[in-house]
Amino acid sequence: MIHPKSPLIGQSLRKVEFQTRYNLHVLGLRRECKPITDYENVKLAAGDSLLVAGPWSRIGQLRSQHHQFVVLEMPTEQAEVVPAYRRMPLSLIIVAAMVLLTIFDVVPLVAAVIMAAMAAVFTRCLTMEDSYRAIHWSSLVLIAGMLPLADALEITGGTKIIVDGLMYGVGDAGPLLMLTVIFFLTAGLGLFLSNTASAVLVAPIEIYAAEAFGVSPYPFAVAVLIAASAAFVTPVSTPVVTLVVEPGRYGFMDFVKVGVPLLLLTYLVTLVVAPLVFPF
């Protein structure tokens, strides 16, 4: 919209060479809610609305010219534009370096991630403001709230009681049956709790169970991780599943019908692959 104090008032678009000056195409002009046909030669007045097209950066620059224009609306597609797309090759190099440092065990995983985040900020692939907005604060609060509960179970002996009960029931059957029990224990908690909370609660139990059997805790840990991520039997266990309920108009039993076979398939794959990759 033309500002009441704009120097363009009283001049036509053709005379001021609007397209050349602002690198924008005027597609139409509206005055008092009525479209003007010969808008290129009509003298502009305060309150005239222009429909312009051109590079988003140029449209954005109109906002800084407060005494000439009032930008009423920005293209909705502008929100989908990646702000630092020219630095994509550099960001891919940073991610590849982080993965390689982790794979070859040059530095610990946490150190590699922190180094990658710092490199992204220093190279301007990511601003500090964007990095703060990208942090999933609810997950941090959830983890911070569940860790004391897991510590309380361990300190008070609750974890040992659970493991002793499991050992009493399945101890003679071997670690594979214990892996099965831990998998379905985690998956059962994951039906109602978040996957993060389920993993945090069961992790100390699987470590104690591995010590009781005298075997490596890694297969049990993998079972916990996979089972915590297999929360698709109920629509309330994870936000990813909940998001599709309304668009697909699914009912509770729809997830049970599809989720139970998927859970059993996930269990069978975990039972076979976990001990092969991480032997007891």
User: Which residues, at least 6 apart from 249, have a Cβ–Cβ distance to it below 8 Å?
Assistant: none
Does residue 261 fall inside a structural domain? yes
Instruction: Based on the fold, state whether residues 120 and 206 are members of the same structural domain.
Output: no
Closest CA to 233 of 219, 211, 254: 254
Which CATH number characterizes residue 47's domain?
Answer: 3.30.70
Instruction: Based on the fold, state whether residues 37 and 90 are members of the same structural domain.
Output: no
Closest CA to 119 of 91, 96, 86, 85: 91
- Write down which residue in 117, 135, 153 finishes a domain: 135
Given pLDDT bands bounded at 50, 70 and 90, which one contains residue 93? Answer: very high
Given pLDDT bands bounded at 50, 70 and 90, which one contains residue 160? Answer: low
How many domains are contained in the chain?
Answer: 3
Closest CA to 139 of 65, 214, 196: 196
Q: What is the pLDDT of residues 199-256, one digit of tens each?
A: 777 887 777 778 777 888 888 888 888 888 887 787 776 666 766 777 777 777 888 8
Any idea what the Cα angle at residue 41 is, between residues 36 and 46, rounded to 5°? 65
Does residue 246 fall inside a structural domain? yes
Instruction: Based on the fold, state whether residues 171 and 211 are members of the same structural domain.
Output: yes
Instruction: Based on the fold, state whether residues 45 and 149 are members of the same structural domain.
Output: no
Does residue 189 fall inside a structural domain? yes
The answer to whether the CB of 4 falls within 8 A of the CB of 40 is no
pLDDT recorded at residue 95:
92
Task: Identify which has the larger pLDDT, 60 or 27.
Answer: 27
Q: What is the pLDDT of residues 97-129, one digit of tens each?
A: 999 998 888 888 888 888 998 888 888 888 777
* For the chain, percent of residues with pLDDT exceeding 90: 5
Does residue 103 fall inside a structural domain? yes
Instruction: Based on the fold, state whether residues 173 and 253 are members of the same structural domain.
Output: yes
Task: List the domain range (segments joined by +) for residue 96.
Answer: 85-135
